[in-house]
Amino acid sequence: MADRIATGETFAIIGARLLAPDGQWLEGHAVVVANGRIAAIMPETALDRAIACHRIAGLLVPGFIDVQVNGGGGVLFNDSADADGIAAIGAAHRRFGTTGFLPTFITDTPERMQRAVDAARAAATAEIPGFLGIHLEGPFLNPARKGIHDAALIRPITDADITVISNLARDLSPRFRVLVTLAPERVPTDALSALADAGVLLSAGHTAASAEDIATARAHGLTGFTHLFNAMPPLAGRDPGPVGAAITDPQAYIGIIADGHHVSSVSLQAAIRAHGPKRVMLVTDAMPPVGIPGDTFSLLGRTITRAGGRLTADDGTLAGSDLDMASAVRNAVSQLGVPVEEALRMAALYPAGFLRLDGELGALRPGHRASFTLLDDDLSVVATWIDGIVEQAA
């Protein structure tokens, strides 16, 4: 396999089993790439002999898309809110099959949030590999469901916030996205509508919303749920809350952290069976330790300890995860009983749909960007392509 292939070159990848958009596996087929996009998928026997061919072995699948990644490779987006920080996070997660990601900025001061907004513009201009936009997780949350977020920094949304976020979404469109996680019971419906009308994606998280609150927010632009079950009240017989609202809404997108620590596998299995796997997205909620050794790191002034795959503050509060997307896929198969093909779509096709980028990413389809991942039979990452540029996993 060539170490790098120029995006302007036309070439074909042959020899691998290809995951089709319908979940079927194609054998004996080639993926033809031109100018960073998939030009065709055809039987190898039909290839033009003049096309350069690169033979590989394994499973060629759509590149993973992570809509919630706080850090990786020793970098935390809140602390490194610039294009270089975003690039470092992307590079760390690319080793684990992620070819598209939203660096996630958690609740912080308005000044630091503005730096994150500026970083998103800079990353878009610099065309950082895999950068698909920005996720602002907070600060418009419910303090009663703060999780690791600093309650002192959680605040109501203002007109100035709406202007800043809406302008960013308009500036980054159509290629990039802005996602905001918020507590819908604490954000006025006119604010939800203003953000949604500007193209901002809205997700409910760190919330104590009632099912009725969720229904109202859905009518005003809410489309997703951030790390279902976590930082939410549990489903109860007379109070279904956000969990009940999510799993009974087949049109909603649901993010889950399948690391075996954030949520019981039984609860995740129940949610997937109630909702159906379509529109259920694997996310990492990853923190700086992913991809590097080390037992501790600092998160907004608090020491976080890594032990046994868990990241916790001194009071036991979970502080993001030590998860990567390839591990999330394997866990979905081994712990949740999800078929391999469905787990792979939960890592690519459904996140692309949530981001409204499924006309560009998430499937091996002619016309799509040539961003895909090569796996071995154990679902470990061998190589990735982003817009036709290949990089072998370390």
| pLDDT tens-digit profile, the chain (394 residues) | 334 444 458 999 999 999 999 999 999 999 999 999 999 999 999 998 889 999 999 999 999 999 999 999 999 999 999 999 999 999 999 999 999 999 999 999 999 999 999 999 999 999 999 999 999 999 999 999 999 999 999 999 999 999 999 999 999 999 999 999 999 999 999 999 999 999 999 999 999 999 999 999 999 999 999 999 999 999 999 999 999 999 999 999 999 999 999 999 999 999 999 999 999 999 999 999 999 999 999 998 999 999 999 999 999 999 999 999 999 999 999 999 999 999 999 999 999 999 999 999 999 999 999 999 999 999 999 999 999 999 998 7
Q: How far is CA 8 from the centre of its chain?
A: 28
374 shares its domain with 324: no
Q: Are residues 181 and 234 in the same domain?
A: yes
| Together in a domain, 326 and 276 | yes
Kind of pairing between the strands at 302-307 and 310-312:
antiparallel
Residue with structure tokens 């660096």? 103
**50 CA to centre of own chain:** 38
Residues 208 and 160 in one domain: yes
Residue 309 lies in a domain: yes
Say yes or no: 258 and 111 in one domain.
Answer: yes
Q: What was the pLDDT predicted at 122?
A: 98
| 3 domain-assigned | no
Domain count, the chain: 2
Residue 2 lies in a domain: no
* C-alpha closest to that of 281 among 326, 214, 335, 227: 227
pLDDT at 49: 86
Q: Are residues 68 and 54 in the same domain?
A: no
- Alpha helix stretches (DSSP H) within the chain: 83-94, 110-126, 159-172, 189-197, 211-219, 241-247, 265-275, 325-334, 340-346, 349-354
CB 86 within 8 A of CB 103: yes
Exposure b/e, 51-68, CB count within 10 A at least 16 = b? beebeeebbbbbbbbbbb
Do 338 and 197 fall into the same domain? yes
What DSSP assignment string belongs to 54-94?
A: EE--SEEEEPEEEEEE-EETTEETTTS-SHHHHHHHHHHHH
Give yes or no: residues 17 and 141 share one domain: no
Q: Which amino acid is at 5?
A: I
Tokens representing residue 78 in the block: 């809140």
**Residues 265, 373 share a domain:** no
Backbone angles phi, psi at 180, to 5 degrees: -125, 125
- For residue 363, give both structure tokens: 């499937």
Query: Same domain, yes or no, for 68 and 56?
Result: no
Cis, peptide link before residue 233, omega less than 30° from 0: no
Residue 1 lies in a domain: no
Considering the domain architecture, whether residues 48 and 74 belong to the same structural domain is answered as no
Q: How far is CA 207 from the centre of its chain?
A: 20
Q: Which candidate, 302, 351, 329, places its Cα nearest to that of 135? A: 351
Amino acid code (one letter) for 150: D
CATH number where 196 lies:
3.20.20.140
Q: CATH number, domain at 54?
A: 2.30.40.10
CA distance 302 to 288: 14
The candidate with the shortest Cα–Cα distance to 89, out of 131, 133, 148, is 131
| Residue 6, in any domain of the structure | no
CB neighbourhood size of 166 (10 A): 18
Residues facing residue 297 across a β-bridge: 304
Domain that holds residue 25: 11-61+363-392
Indicate if 50 and 81 belong to the same structural domain: no
Q: Please indicate, yes or no, if residue 205 is contained in any of the structural domains.
A: yes
Rounded Cα–Cα distance for residues 50 and 111 (Å): 55
3 state DSSP class of 161: helix
- Is 108 within 8 Å of 300 (Cβ atoms)? yes
Active site residues: 285
* Binding-site residues for Zn(2+): 137, 206, 227
What pLDDT score was predicted for residue 8?
55
Q: Which residues are annotated as a binding site?
A: 137, 148, 206, 227, 230-231, 238, 262, 318-320
- pLDDT value of residue 246: 98
- Let me know if residue 5 belongs to a domain: no
Q: CB–CB of 214/242 below 8 Å? A: yes
Asked whether residue 251 is assigned to any structural domain, the reply reads: yes
Question: Which residue numbers belong to the known binding site for substrate?
Answer: 148, 230-231, 238, 262, 318-320
Which amino acid is it at 352? A
